[in-house]
Structure 1
């Protein structure tokens, strides 16, 4: 191990520790780590700035605006409420809620979905004397499920996609991840409406916990129906253009934003408010850290150790190790940071094993999104933490079987579709 590799690995450990202890905002921590790498000469200014020109990062920024327009549509709210039904059969209502939410999350940012529907579902539960704790965890998990179905389902997928494009590779197609995400989603929804329902806590109904002012202002807005339909049509057009590869995902998103602005479906002043700049900063800086891992040789060293430790199980063992390491990072830090850290390791592992890297990239994307067993690994889990009255142990009890389910499905499908064993 060279001094340069040792320095990079030590810095990564410090960064991980700071992220776990939440000593500052995640984007500030990652930005500080990137600055240290730049000042130390590990990476050049061009490499440090690579993330700010990354296609995936800009796509995420544009999709925030598209999602901001879509989430204001009352059509989506009615879609989910109709799915919930009367509530006479809670397990059936969970089943009917999770599939629509997963479907929406496949094409929208999942955080606003959970933010919007948390107060709606809580009120629905209270009106029927049903414990919200039985429905809010399925809401968060359904949003996570949906993120594994499409390229635009979550920013994590777009980060991995952007990394692939940077290397001159063909990125993910619109529905490529669904080969793994769809069977995992179906199994996950069935689990949550049966075994998971029994494992979830029942904290009863506590109506005082939902003051009126907590309902998002967007819910009080009543758009004309033609505006709601127009926004949905713009979203559909964007998806179709990218799905049939008529234009790139970045171009499709840019076109959708332009149409929304020109037609007045979203205001020029309000559009930037939907952009989560902290997420963009984290993505851009984390990409520079990924470059440092490759430049220094740290990624190759870690990949070699990973392959050696799992050599008894062959190629599938290496794939499983990549998945488990990514999943562990996701539960401890953030999904985007986990994907950025594991991408160069997964790429180096695939190259050393003589395999198509695509399968390893799919594993990283899925593992970085499939965070179920802690409230801190994924933002949607944290959003429903207090409203649902959950404890940390509740996530472990309900989420750990889901983690194992996604692990088995991902390793099995990737081995079948992409690996040469």
Structure 2
């Protein structure tokens, strides 16, 4: 090999080691690797920066915005609320989680799906006395299963497809991967409900990640012409709310205490709840319930984009010893109080009639910029935004799903290419106010995009220096010139790399290697390209292998060994199925 080839391998090895050690952010590691190759003259500026204009990477960015539109309108919340129900066993609960997760993840990026399901499933598990540790790994794995079923199911598929198009080949179809993704998903579900369920830990205590020691008192109003009118408390899902308790109902000036599960809801009923912040965030996502704001719905009318903020009142607040209504808190601060906590005690009476005291903790509904404007205000001891608390715009949920459907149909039928469909869909989400510009910007995971773009540079260096061909020869040496065995080795190598570094980086680095292997064998490269897609996405054996695994590790109180015990056999099982099926569908 030439000096440039050895230098490329050395730089890539250093990058891999740094990624595994996690001492530096992954986007910084990959950017430094790209800059090193550019500085050493291995790559020209055009080659080094080509990844930033790759179709796959831009499509990933657009689909982040599309997914944000589904999330911001409460589209996923509606699905979870109607589909989860009340399971009779742990296996039934796992199935109820995995089926909608797989379906949604086939068309929406996995990360926002899991991020939305996660708090809902924790609350749901508490209501139904289920062990969180039995449910969250199936949630993450279900999202991975779904991502392997379509071209847009995961960013890895889009990235590899972008590399394939860059080679002058025709793009894969929307549902081409379903020939492999659906069979492996079915086998994965069966495994998790049988063998995997026994291997999953059973830890009785739920995670404390979403716990909050403050107990708030909050009032909600049943919306006129909303879906909850006429439903009983039980039918509306307001009886078993985990850490949230329905204290009473105020109706036409009278109080209904000790509310019965069969009590029917009427328009303008004021429901008084007591509970923690996480439970209130979930309550705020129930369609047909609106916060009983201290100054009507003024904030909602003025600013559709709102979020929850916690503040602790200081002794310098000018509204001390005034009621929230008389003090006109909304007019004074531009935010509405929706809940109050005081010394861990449950407060009585109407929210508007509560007299403000020093050290009261208030839960406010405010614009996103409110936190920055009041962070150092002397009126408050603490100002803190509540994560993932944006109020869903349910009136646009159906429209958001229609936009996603249009993307899938237009790309599948060939009306427009995948990139154009994704960009038009992202524009439609913003233009129709399904997602605001601010939320759209926040939804794009720029560190992930930087990792993807810089990975292209490292993969290109493997090609131009001939390193990929050398590695391909090493891969070929063990199985010889038997394509099926080479395919298995390629799948295994990709899977191992994905377990320790990001899936997109592993796919991009393996792409030129498998192309070189196919060329040396004089066979079609398509089976190898599909194997890289599958192996890079189907990563179950470590929490590092996929972002959704990391997301559930904390709330599920999982240990590293839990993923190895449950995920490694699944990796082997699905890898074997993929290696057998892929050449049958895409012959050598």
Which bin holds the TM-score, normalised by the shorter protein?
A: over 0.9
The aligned counterpart of 1:169 is: 169
Partner of 2:4: 4
Pair 1:171–1:46, CA change in 2 (3 A): same
Change (3 A) 1:207 1:161: closer
* Larger RCO, structure (CA 8 Å, separation 6 or more): 1
**Counterpart Cα distance in 2 of 1:265 and 1:84:** 25
Q: State the distance in 2 between where 1:85 and 1:198 align.
A: 23
Residue 584 (structure 2) pairs with residue 416 (structure 1): yes
Match of 2:499 in 1: 331
**Residue 167 of structure 1: how far off its partner (Å):** 1.0
Contact 2:63 2:422 in 1 (8 A): yes
Please tell me whether Structure 1 or Structure 2 has the larger radius of gyration of its CA atoms.
2
**Equivalent residue, structure 2, for 1:221:** 391
Conservation of the 8 A alpha-carbon contact between 1:371 and 1:377: yes
From the superposition, tell whether residues 220 and 37 of structure 1 become closer, same or farther in structure 2 (CA, over 3 Å).
Answer: closer
Alignment of 1:374 with 2:542, yes or no, is yes
Cα pair 2:76 2:116 within 8 Å, conserved: no
Give me the whole-angstrom Cα distance separating, in 1, the residues matched to 2:457 and 2:180: 29
Seen in structure 2, the aligned counterparts of structure 1 residues 389 and 224 have a Cα distance that, compared at 3 Å, is: closer
Looking at structure 2, the residues matched to 354 and 96 of structure 1 have their Cα atoms a distance apart, in angstroms, of 46
Q: 1:354 — aligned with what?
A: 522
1:222 is displaced (CA, Å) by 3.9
Deviation of the 1:209 alpha carbon? 4.4
For 2:422 and 2:23, locate their aligned partners in 1 and report how far apart those are by CA, in whole Å.
35
Deviation at 1:269, TM superposition (A): 3.3
Once residues 142 and 121 of structure 1 are traced to their aligned partners in structure 2, the CA distance between those partners, rounded to angstroms, is 14
Alignment of 1:152-167 (within 5 A): 152-167=152-167
Q: Which residue of 2 aligns with 1:99?
A: 99
Query: Residues 207 and 67 of structure 1: is their aligned pair in 2 closer, same or farther, counting only changes over 3 Å?
Result: closer
Match of 1:407 in 2: 575
Pairing 1:85–2:85 present: yes
The Cα of 1:190 is off from its aligned counterpart by 1.2
What are the Cα deviations for residues 365-417 of structure 1, in whole angstroms up to 9, with x where unaligned? 01001110101111110111111011111111111111012111111111212
Distance 1:277 1:148 in 2: 23
Paired residue for 2:122?
A: 122
**Matches of 2:143 and 2:204 in 1, distance apart?**
24
Match of 1:22 in 2: 22
In the aligned structure 1, how far is the partner of 2:388 from the partner of 2:22? 30
Using a 3 Å threshold, how does the CA distance of structure 1 residues 337 and 204 change in structure 2: closer, same or farther? Answer: same
- Residue 220 of structure 1 and its aligned partner are, at CA, apart by 5.8
What secondary structure sits across from 2:553 in the alignment?
coil
Contact 1:332-1:377 at 8 Å conserved across structures = yes
- d(CA) in 2 for partners of 1:111 and 1:224? 21
The separation in 2 between residues aligned to 1:230 and 1:335, in whole angstroms, is 32
Q: Does 1:303 align with 2:303?
A: no
Residues 11-410 of structure 1 aligned to structure 2 (within 5 Å): 11-206=11-206, 208-211=208-211, 212-213=276-277, 218=388, 221-225=391-395, 227-311=396-480, 314-410=482-578
Alignment partners' CA distance in 1, 2:40 and 2:180: 41
Deviates more, 1:267-276 or 1:374-383: 267-276
**Offset, 1:351:** 1.2
Aligned to 2:312: none
Tell me how far apart the structure 2 counterparts of residues 309 and 197 of structure 1 sit (CA, whole Å): 36
TM-score (norm 2): 0.69
Give the C-alpha shift of residue 192 in structure 1: 0.8
Structure 2: how far apart are the matches of 1:123 and 1:262?
Answer: 34
For the 8 Å contact 1:110–1:154, the answer to whether it is kept is yes
The structural deviation recorded for 1:95 is 1.2
Number of aligned residues = 418
Offset at 1:84?
2.7
- Aligned to 1:356, the other structure's residue is in SS state coil
Q: Do the aligned residues in 2 keep the contact of 1:126 with 1:205 (CA within 8 Å)?
A: no
Residues 66-75 or 246-255, more deviating: 66-75
Contact preservation (8 Å) 1:129, 1:205:
no
Deviates more, 1:6-15 or 1:216-225: 216-225
1:418 offset after TM fit, Å?
1.7
Name the CA distance, whole Å, in 1 between partners of 2:184 and 2:73: 29
Deviations 1:24-55 (A, max 9, x none): 11111011001000000001111001101101
Structure whose residues are more often strand by fraction? 2
The Cα offsets for residues 238-280 of structure 1, whole Å up to 9 and x where unpaired, read as 1100011111111001111222222222223332111111111
Task: Report the Cα offset of residue 355 of structure 1.
Answer: 1.4
CA distance in 2, matches of 1:260, 1:74: 13
Q: Quote the Cα distance in structure 2 between the aligned partners of 1:27 and 1:41.
A: 21
Q: Matches of 1:43 and 1:21 in 2, distance apart?
A: 26
State the Cα RMSD in Å. Answer: 1.5
1:73 CA displacement: 3.5
The Cα of 1:193 is off from its aligned counterpart by: 1.3
Q: TM-score, normalised by structure 1?
A: 0.96
Q: How far does the alpha carbon of each residue in 1:93-121 deviate from its partner, in whole angstroms, 9 at most, with x for none?
A: 21122011011001111111111211111
